[in-house]
Structure 1
Amino acid sequence: MARCTYTVICKVNHERNTFLICPVIYEQIGKRGTVTEAAGFVPEADVKRLREAMKGAGTNEDIIVEIMAHRTIAQRQRIKEAYKQAVGKDMADDLSSELSGNFRSVVLGLLMLAPVYDAYELKNAIKGAGTEEACLIDILASRTNDEVKAINAIYKKEHGKSLEDNVCGDTSGMFQRVLVSLLTAGRDESSNVDEAQAVVDAKEIYEAGEARWGTDEVKFLTVLCVRNQKHLLRVFEEYKKISGRDIEDSIKREMSGCLEDVFLAIVKCLRNKPAFFAERLYKSMKGLGTTDSVLIRIMVARAEIDMLDIKAQFLKMYNKSLYSFIKGDTSGDYRKILLELCGGE
C-alpha cells in the first residue's frame, strides 16, 4: 500500500489572508484511482484555457470538464495558485459564479484537498434544520486515523468550533457516542491478531446482543470502533461460529435507524471498502430520483484513491457497470464530468 503526502493549507485569518501549512499523510491503494497525473502538465497553460472558457457571455463547460477531471488533487492546487497569480482572483469563486447546480458542486469539490472536502461535506451535513446522517456515516466510518485527524484540524480552523462539538449538538444517544468514538481517531491500525482476544470479543458481542433480551450497544462500540481490521475479521469469523449468524445479520436484528447504519458501515468498510462505496453508489441511483449528494461525494472523494476497485465491485455486485448506471441516471455537464471521473466502462 502506497502512502501519499499532501500539504494541507488551512486559512487561519480571512482578513489578513494568512495560512497555516501542515503536511498530512493519506492512504492511497497503489494506483487504483481513475484520475492520475496528467503528463506534460503546465499549470499556466491550464489557467489560460480556463480563463478563455469562462470569458464572454457563455461558458465552455467541456474545457472545464477536460481539465478538472483529468488532473490530480495536487495538480489542481497548482492550477489554483497559478490562476490567482495570473488573475488576482480566487479560481473557485470565478467557477462558482459561472457554473450552477450539481455540475458546480462536482467542480468545486474537485478543487479542494481531500480533508478540506470532507470537512466541507460534514459541515453541510450538520448545518441547518436537519442532519444528513448518511454523510456523517459515510465519511467517519471509512477514513483512516490520519484522515480523521486532518479533518478535525481543518474543521476547527475553518469554523472555530470542533467537529465533535457540532456533531454532539446535532445527534444524540448511542449514535452520537459511536460518532464521537470514530472522531477520536484512536482505532488500532496495527496488523496484530490476538486469537484468544478475538474469541473473547466475539463471545462478548454475542452475549451483548443475540444472547440477551435487549442489546448492550456499548460492547459493540468498544469492539467495532477500537480493534484493528485484521483482528476484527477474525472476530467476525468467531462470531459466526458462536452465533450461527453473520455479524451484519445480527446488527440488523438487534439495532435500527442510524445506529444500525453506522455499525453496518463500519463492518462493511473493514471487510471491503470499495464494495461499501459501490453499494452506496448503487443505492444513490436506483429507483426513482437520485441522491446527488451521495453520488457526488463518493465520485469526488474516491476518484484518485480506489475508483477502479469500486467499479469492479459494482460490476460484480450488480452485473451492471457503474458507468452505465451514471449515464442512465444523470444528464448534461453533470453527467459528462461524472463519467470522466468514472473512467469509462
Structure 2
Amino acid sequence: MALVSEFLGQLALNVGGPDPRFPTVVPARDFDPDADAVRIDTAIRTKGVDKQTIIDILTRRTYAQRRDIAFAFEKRTKKDLISVLKGALSGSLETVVLGLMKSTAQYDASEIRGSIKGLGTDEETLIEILCSRSKAELVEIKRVYKELFKKDLEKDVAGDTSGDFAKLLMALVETKRAEASGVVDYQKIDDDARALHEAGVKQKGTDVSTWISIMSERSIPHLQKVFQKYKSYSPYDMQESISKEVKGDLETSFLTLVNCFENKPLYFANRLHDAMKGKGAKEKVLTRILVSRCEVDLMKIRSEFKLQHGQSLHKTIAEHTKGDYEKVLLGLCGEDD
C-alpha cells in the first residue's frame, strides 16, 4: 500500500544522536489514534472541510503518532490519509500538513530532492539543510533519500553543483566528521587554527580545500575551540575571514557552518527573522524550518528569537502570516513566550 511504503521504517525521531532535544511538538497524552482518525475523517467530510480540527490534531501529535493515525484512518476508511489530505487541502496549509506526514529525515530528503530536481538549483535550501544537520542526521537523510528516490544523494548533489561549493557540500554529505571526544587536544586545536589562518587571510588567495577538510571532518566541540584560538592568529574572527576570502554560495555555506557550530538555534532564529522582514513572509523558509525543527529544537529557537530580536516568534508569525497558514504555523510554534 502507498501508505505503508510512505512510512516504512521512518520513525527516525532521535536521529540527532546525543544532542539534547527541545521540541515544541511532543507526544500527546492519552493518545487514541482511532479517535483521531474518526475526527479527521469527519473534518474532511464536513462541507468546506473543518481545517481547524485537522490543524489541532496534526500539530499536537508527533510524527510517530501521526503515523499511527494514518494507519487507523486507512483501516477505518480503506483510504490513504495522505492522498485524502491532498484532495481536501490546498495552498500553504496543504504544504505544511503534507510535510508533517513525513519523518524529519524524510522531510529533509524531500526538500533536498526538490531543490535539485528540474531546471536550476535552489542553493538556499541545499545549504541550509546540508550545513546545519548533524552527522547522524545526514547519515539518516542519505539512507532515506536512497529509499525514497532510488538515487544516491552524493551523486545528485555532485551533478547539480560545481566548483568549491560542490566540494564543500560533497565533503559534508560524505559524513566524515569526527565524534565529540572527552579529550581536548590543545595541540590539534592550535594546528587547525593556524592552518585556517594560513590557508586564508595570511596568504594571497584562499586554500579552500584546507578550510573544507577542517570544517567537514573535525568534531563540533573541537571546532568551537579552534575558532576561539583562531582569533589569536588573525585580526578577524572566522566569520569576518570567510566574508573577506570567498563569495557567493561558498561564503554562505561556510558562514552557515560556523554559525551552526557556534549556536544552531540562533542560526535558525535569525533565518526566521530574515524570512519575516518587511511586508509578507518567505513562506518556503518559514514552512521548512518550523516543520523540520518542531520535533528537534524549536523550543530553543523560540528562546533565541525572543532574546535576539526582542519579540516572540509566536507574535512575529502572527504579524506576518494569515488564515489557515498562520494557524498551522502557530500550532507548531507552540505557546507565546
CA deviation profile, 1:213-266 (whole Å, cap 9, x unmatched): 111111110111110011111110111111021101111111111101111111
Instruction: Give the ranges of 4+ consecutive aligned residues of structure 1 lying more than 4 Å apart after TM superposition.
Output: 16-20, 22-25, 28-31
CA deviation profile, 1:1-59 (whole Å, cap 9, x unmatched): xxxxxxxxxx9xx7x96986477541375452111111110000000000000014310
User: Structure 1 regions of 5+ residues with no counterpart?
Assistant: 1-10
**Alpha-carbon shift at residue 156 of structure 1 (Å):** 1.3
Among 103, 107, 129, the residue aligned to 1:117: 107
Q: Are 1:183 and 2:173 an aligned pair?
A: yes
CA contact (8 A) 2:239 2:255 kept: yes
Alignment map for 1:80-99 (pairs within 5 Å)? 80-99=70-89
C-alpha spacing 1:36/1:187, structure 2 compared with 1 (3 Å) = same
Among 274, 283, 291, the residue aligned to 2:274: 283
Query: 1:253 matched to which residue of 2?
Result: 244
Q: Are 1:308 and 2:304 an aligned pair?
A: no
Q: Percent identity?
A: 39
CA contact (8 A) 2:10 2:103 kept: no
Query: 2:313 matched to which residue of 1?
Result: 322
TM-score, normalising length from structure 2? 0.94
Once superposed, what is the RMSD of the aligned Cα atoms? Answer: 2.0
TM-score, normalising length from structure 1? 0.92
Query: 2:94 matched to which residue of 1?
Result: 104
Give the match's secondary structure for 1:242: coil
Q: Are 1:200 and 2:191 an aligned pair?
A: yes
Give the match's secondary structure for 2:217: coil
* Residue correspondences, number: 333
CA deviation profile, 1:249-293 (whole Å, cap 9, x unmatched): 111111111101111111111111100110111111112442211
Give the match's secondary structure for 1:26: coil
> Aligned partner of 1:296: which letter?
T
Among 52, 56, 61, the residue aligned to 1:62: 52
Alignment map for 1:6-45 (pairs within 5 Å)? 21=9, 24=12, 25-27=14-16, 30=20, 32-45=22-35
Query: 1:154 matched to which residue of 2?
Result: 144
Query: 1:166 matched to which residue of 2?
Result: 156
User: Structure 2 regions of 5+ residues with no counterpart?
Assistant: none
Q: Which has the higher strand share?
A: 1
CA contact (8 A) 1:47 1:79 kept: yes
C-alpha spacing 1:93/1:132, structure 2 compared with 1 (3 Å) = same
Among 60, 66, 69, the residue aligned to 1:76: 66
Aligned partners of 1:303, 1:128: CA distance in 2, in Å? Answer: 29
Aligned partners of 1:42, 1:190: CA distance in 2, in Å? Answer: 40
> Aligned partner of 1:194: which letter?
D
CA deviation profile, 1:108-162 (whole Å, cap 9, x unmatched): 1111111111111111111121211111111111212221111111111222211
Aligned partners of 2:212, 2:115: CA distance in 1, in Å? Answer: 23
